[in-house]
Structure formats: structure tokens, C-alpha cells
Amino acid sequence: MSYRRYQKLNLLGKLFVWFLISFYVCLGVAVLLITPHRIGQFFYDMAQKISHERLGWLVLSSVMVVTSFPPFIGFTTSVTLCGFAYGMAGVAIALPISIFGSAIVFCVLRLLFAKRLQRWSASNQKWQALEAVIRSKGLPLIILIRLSPFPPWVYSNTLFASIEAVSIWQFIIATTCLAPKMILHVFIGARLAALSDDRQREQMDPQTKILNAVLVAAGIMIGMIAGWVVYNQMQRHIRHVEGLPPGVDELAVEAIEDIAEEGAPLLANFSSESLDKGSDVDIERQHVLQPQGSSRHLSPAP
């Protein structure tokens, strides 16, 4: 599926894909050449400088807010840096700022792209299906999607800003439910900080080093397993919707997968011509998915 989408891209889109591939290859080579040990020491030293500054917490907070906006990346790294700099006390920064930053993204994007959102929603069958399912399931499904690792943080912010059925208060509640995930990232950062600093590591006995390494590995594994479980539960939740036309649930799942790969449509670069073509395709698909005589927009059954 990804290869077919790649073939449909224009020259600029294909060049961007190859740029990303080259970037990550170079990044991997750089990590091997510099060595993870030196990189860890660099992050530890930087985190300590931040923590000793009176407004150091504001620096980390600003980075977290900026990396919540697309197309920036690095939000998870900035949360981990809270643990590097302040230990478990970094939770007091990571948790409220993650809620505050994502709420800013939600409000800004929704205000800036309201008209574009309406045009997209009116022309895309998958998006109508996703909106219908979320409208039907409500807050429990919103929380599950927010907890899921796919779509990632930035795309998840734009996703909910793109769905008119989601209110700002539902979004804030769902983001608050990410508290365990934020605490886990801060914990991993705090343990990594102890292992990254040469002086601290030299003072550790072998058992303490092993314990810290095991705790870091366990934290990463717990995060991965929890993410996998939540993602599967989210898909099951979407696929078990009563009162909607057959096939809507599958289209909603496809919409989530598209967002994970391409980002939310609210920021997509589309033209009026592409919208018109999308409308023609969607009308044809609706004849299959909706009973005859139903309205064009999908909505929950009364």
C-alpha cells in the first residue's frame, strides 16, 4: 500500500521521501560514528545546564509546545529530557505542558483551517466515516485513539483538530489520560541520565548498573506492549459500531492508517480539482456503503 502511494506522488513528493530516507540513514551512521555513550553524555550535560538555570523549565516547556505543532518532531525526546534534567520531578513539567501545548495546537489549527476542514470533510468518504464513528462512540473512542501510538503525537494533535465532532474539552480529557505514558518517558529519562554520566556510572556497583539498564529496558518494553494493546483495542472499538451503514467501520480504520502514514488532512495540500475528483469517487463508494435514499454525509443512526 505504501509503495502504491509513493508511485502516485509527484516529483517533489518523491524527492521528499528520499530526503527522509537519506536523513535517517545519515542519522544512524552518525550515531554509530559518534557512539551512543558520547551522545548520552552530551544530552546529560545539556540537561544539567538547563536544570541549573532559573528558567530552565521554561526552555523545556517551550520546546515541548513547539514540537507539538506539525511538521516538527521530537516531542517524546523533549519529555524524556525532563527526566534527564529534573529526575522524576520532571513530571511536574511534562504533564501540564503536554496538555497545554496540545490544546494550543488544537485551537490554532481549528481556527486557521476551519474552511479547509469543511471542504475536506464534504469530499472524503473515509473522513466522513471516521467522524461518524467518533460521533457515535464519543469520548471512550477519543481516549483510545489518543492513547494509541498511531497516529504519533503531532499527527494525533492535528487529527482531533480536524474532526468537528471532537470538542476542546473532550480533547483535553483524552490528553490528560496520557499521564501514565508521560510518567513512563520521564522515568526512562531519569534512569538514562544516571547511566549516561561518566561520574555517576563510575560510582555505581555492577548490580546498580544492571538494575538501571533493566529498568530502562523494561520501561521501553512496557511502553511498546501497552501501545500495541491500545492500538488493537482501538481498531476493535471502531469495528464494533451499531447503527451505521456496513463498511463504515473499515473506512474509519483506513482513515486512521492514512493519518499515521501521511498526517491529518487538515494540513494536506489539496486543490479544488482534487476535491471534485474525490467527491466523484466518494459518491460511487457511497452507493455501495449506504442504503438507497440515505443522505450524502454519514451520521449515526437515531
| Domain contains 12 | no
pLDDT at residue number 296: 39
- Rounded CA-CA distance 181/99 in Å is 13
Q: Indicate left, alpha or beta for 263 from its phi (over 0: left) and psi (-120 to 50: alpha).
A: left
Sign of the dihedral defined by the CA atoms of residues 18, 19, 20, 21, in that order? positive
pLDDT tens for the chain, 302 residues: list them.
Answer: 456 666 666 777 677 778 878 877 887 888 788 877 787 788 888 888 888 898 899 999 999 999 998 878 889 989 999 998 999 999 999 999 999 999 999 999 888 877 776 676 677 777 788 888 888 888 998 998 898 888 888 888 888 888 888 999 999 999 999 999 999 999 999 988 888 877 777 777 788 878 888 888 888 888 888 888 888 888 888 877 777 777 777 787 777 766 655 555 555 543 334 434 444 434 444 443 444 344 334 443 33
Q: Give CA–CA dist 128/146, Å, rounded.
A: 19
The pLDDT value given to residue 270 = 39
Note the pLDDT of residue 174: 94
In a domain, 101, yes or no: yes
Residue 287, pLDDT score: 42
Q: Is residue 21 part of a domain?
A: no
Structural domain of 207? 36-289
For residue 251, tell me if it sits in a domain. yes
C-alpha cell belonging to residue 108: 490554532
Residue 99 lies in a domain: yes
The pLDDT value given to residue 274: 40
Residue 265 falls within a domain, yes or no? Answer: yes
The number of folded domains in the chain is 1
Asked if residue 294 belongs to a domain, the reply is no
pLDDT for position 262: 56
- CA-closest candidate to residue 270, choices 4, 10, 2, 11: 10
| pTM, entire model | 0.74
The number of angstroms, rounded, from the C-alpha of 277 to the middle of its chain's C-alpha atoms is: 29
Do residues 188 and 297 lie in contact, with contact meaning Cβ atoms separated by under 8 Å?
Answer: no
If phi > 0 it is left, if psi is from -120 to 50 it is alpha, else beta; for residue 138 that is left
Of the chain, the end-to-end C-alpha distance in Å amounts to 36
User: 169 lies in a domain?
Assistant: yes
What is the rounded distance in angstroms from the CA atom of residue 252 to the CA atom of residue 182? 28
For the CA atoms of the chain, what is the radius of gyration? 22
